[in-house]
Structure 1
Amino acid sequence: MGDAESAQVNVASKMGFKSGDIVQELGYDDDIDFDLRDDLEDIIDSELLTEEDHDVADAVILWWRAEDGDLVDGLVDSQTTLDEGGPIWLLTPKAGRAGHVSPADIQEAAPTAGLHVTKTEGVSSEWAATRLVARRKN
């Protein structure tokens, strides 16, 4: 494995994924980072669930661009099959790229969708990932 491949796999594992995880992918299109996607599948040892799958998922990968519509709606919809306590990794184009979503927009949308931001990672040259989890109930 070359340094670039190793770094990519490390990013996938740094996102908290492990073998056996069931991960649903939403927002798939031809502009996604296919290397990151492949590495995620390598880490979990299976294919990602699609938007048509209704299995309960341990985590969700949501590829989102500014033109995809209302982010709150997208975040709410992404929780439909998500297991309680599972993270949503919101992948958005980095600043300066077409479809960029500002961190302020994510911070504003998350609470309305019942989520909060826990961390942000640069996961590829084109995409940033924001980890969101459900807010704890008092």
Structure 2
Amino acid sequence: MNETASKNAEEFGFHEGDVIQEWLWDDDVSDSIRDRIMTLTGEDLVDEDYGAAVNGVIIWWRDGDDEDALADTIVDAYAVLGGDGPLWVLTPKPGRPGAASSITVQSAATTAGMNAATPLTVSDDWNGIHLTPYGKGR
């Protein structure tokens, strides 16, 4: 694992007891990332159909998915995010199937009214891009 990613998922800004919602789950997601988040929070991840506010969000997004759909997903995910909880878009790293350009993610984030941070390596195969609403800093 790259030095920039912890073994305990602290880089996401999630805490014990947090309810984390994941969007666009598919068979290619990283079970190690999911497991690290669940170990850190002590809670199972919930899906898009979860009916209450959450403390954090991860969105699995791959190249070939529609950029406008990503912007819409970011807006929908932020709407159920309680307070100022962390929101992350996870994309396959360059050279992996489905690798997405960080510029594409940044463009979708801008459309959704969010700032996108520089990608962070969160596992051997996935990068994470932390999003914050305009005016909330990076």
Tell me, in whole angstroms, the C-alpha distance in 2 between the residues paired with 1:37 and 1:62.
12
Supply the AA of the counterpart residue of 2:98: G
- Using the TM superposition, name which of 114-123 and 67-76 deviates more: 67-76
**1:90 maps to 2:68:** no
Q: Which residue of 2 aligns with 1:133?
A: 132
Q: Residue 8 of structure 1: CA displacement?
A: 6.8
Q: Residue 27 of structure 1: CA displacement?
A: 1.0
Q: Residue 69 of structure 1: CA displacement?
A: 2.1
Tell me, in whole angstroms, the C-alpha distance in 1 between the residues paired with 2:38 and 2:116.
24
Whether contact under 8 Å (1:120, 1:129) holds in the other structure is yes
Supply the AA of the counterpart residue of 2:126: W
Any gaps of 5 or more consecutive residues in structure 2? none
Any gaps of 5 or more consecutive residues in structure 1? none
Tell me, in whole angstroms, the C-alpha distance in 1 between the residues paired with 2:105 and 2:54.
22
Whether contact under 8 Å (1:11, 1:123) holds in the other structure is no
**TM-score, normalised via structure 2 length:** 0.85
Supply the AA of the counterpart residue of 1:43: L
Structure with bigger gyration radius = 1
Q: Residue 101 of structure 1: CA displacement?
A: 1.2
Q: 2:21 aligns with which of 16, 21, 24?
A: 24
Poorly superposed stretches of 4+, deviation over 4 Å: none
- Per-residue deviation, residues 79-104 of structure 1 (Å, max 9, x unmatched): 23112322211000111112111011
Supply the AA of the counterpart residue of 2:123: S
- Per-residue deviation, residues 26-55 of structure 1 (Å, max 9, x unmatched): 111110000110110010001011111021
Q: Which residue of 2 aligns with 1:49?
A: 46
Q: Residue 9 of structure 1: CA displacement?
A: 5.6
Count how many residue pairs are aligned between Structure 1 and Structure 2.
Answer: 132
Tell me, in whole angstroms, the C-alpha distance in 2 between the residues paired with 1:9 and 1:50.
24
RMSD value, Cα: 2.0
**1:124 maps to 2:123:** yes
**Between the two proteins, what is the percent identity of the paired residues?**
36
Tell me, in whole angstroms, the C-alpha distance in 2 between the residues paired with 1:77 and 1:104.
21
Tell me, in whole angstroms, the C-alpha distance in 2 between the residues paired with 1:44 and 1:69.
31
Q: The residue matched to 1:43 in structure 2 has which SS?
A: helix
**1:62 maps to 2:59:** yes
